[in-house]
Amino acid sequence: MKPLRFRLLSILLATLLAGCGNDAPKQDPAPAAAAMEHIEYLSTTIGQRLAGSDHAAAARDYIQAHFLRLGLLTTLQTFTFGGTGADHSANVIAVKPGVSPQEILVGAHYDSVDVGSGASDNASGVGLLLACAAVLAKVEVPYTIRFVAFGAEEPGMLGSSYYVSQMTEAEIAHTVGMVNLDTVVGGDRIYVYGGLEAAGWLREAALAIARQAGISLDTSPGLNPEIPAGTTGDWSDHAPFKYAGVPYLYLEATNWEIGNFDGFLQTVDHGEIWHTDKDTLEFFATTYPGRIEAQLGDFTQILTGLLLTLEVPQAARSTISTKAQTSVPRFRQRNGMPFE
C-alpha cells in the first residue's frame, strides 16, 4: 500500500479509536476497551457457554442485541446437531454494506468447553468481532462486511460448516475472504495465518499493516513439517471456508516455538490455557497483567485497518473463484488433542 494511504488511515484510526477532544460529546469506549467489556460479560457474567446450552443462547442473544444496536441488518441462522438433532444452535449474522457488493466475512465462535470460563477461547474473538463492528458500522468500507458469530464450534466446527453448506456457488465466488478470530488473547505472541501462495494475500496484507503500525505480528514459522510456514491446521472455523475455496485469514495468540511447534501450547510458563481451568480473566489478570489489553489493542488496530483498506491483489483474484475441494476433513488434531 502507498505511504499516503497509510497516513490517511492513521488519521482516520486516530479519530475513530481515540475519540475526540474535551468539548466533544461522550464517545464509545476505544475498541480495545469495548472488546474487554464484551469478554468480561461473556466469560464472567454468562460463564461457560456449551453448545446448545442456555448459557450459549444467552451469549447468542447478547451478540444479536449488540449488532442491532449498531443498526446492522441482523439475522439468525439456526441449525440442529447431535445424534437425534435434538440440540439447537445458531449463527448470528450482521451485514455492513460496503462500496463493493463483494463480501468479506469476519467470524468468531461464541461457544466454549465445560472447563474454565472460555475467556480466551473464545470470548476474546467475539469481543474483538463486536468492538470492530462498532467502529466499522460508522464509516465507509471498501467491501461489504458480513460479521458472523458462529455457534457450536467446539463440538466440531458445526456452525461454520453449516454456514458454508448453505452458501451457493455464486455466494462463495462473491466472498473475497474469511477472517477467523479464535483465541486472540493470552498466548505469548500474536499471530496471523493464511493460505499458500496467492491464497495467502490476506495474511500478507495484515502483516503489512502491522509493520506500518509498529506492531509485532508473527506467523507460523514452519518448524513443524506438517504445517507449512504462514499457515495453520484445520482446527477452527476457517477450515470449512478454506475447503470451499475462500481465502482465509486467522488471528490468534499462542506460541509456535515450543512443544510440537503446532501452536497448541500457548505459553512458555503454563503451556496450554484454552480448554483448561486457567482460561479465565482472573488467571490472566493475575499471571499476565496487561497482556490481554495490549493484544486487544494490537488486533483491533490490525483488523480495522485491514477492513478499511482492503484491496484484493490481481494475483489473488483467480484463487477466489477456484473450484472448491469436494471433501472437507471432518476432524483434525492438534498435538494429539481433538480440534476445538
> Which active-site residues does the annotation give?
153
Q: How far apart are CA 244 and CA 232, in angstroms?
A: 16
Q: Are 275 and 334 in contact (CB under 8 A)?
A: no
Would you tell me the crossing angle of helices 291-309 and 124-136 to the nearest 10 degrees?
40
3-state class (DSSP) for residue 91: strand
3-state class (DSSP) for residue 190: strand
Q: Is the dihedral of CA 97, 98, 99, 103 positive or negative?
A: negative
Q: How far apart are CA 231 and CA 229, in angstroms?
A: 6
Residue 224: closest CA among 193, 245, 248: 193
CB atoms within 10 A of CB 298: 22
Radius of gyration of the chain from its Cα atoms, rounded to whole angstroms: 18
Q: Are 188 and 266 in contact (CB under 8 A)?
A: yes
Contacts for 300 with CB less than 8 Å, ≥ 6 apart: 17, 31, 32, 35, 128, 131, 132, 135
Q: Are 175 and 246 in contact (CB under 8 A)?
A: yes
Q: How far apart are CA 175 and CA 320, in angstroms?
A: 8
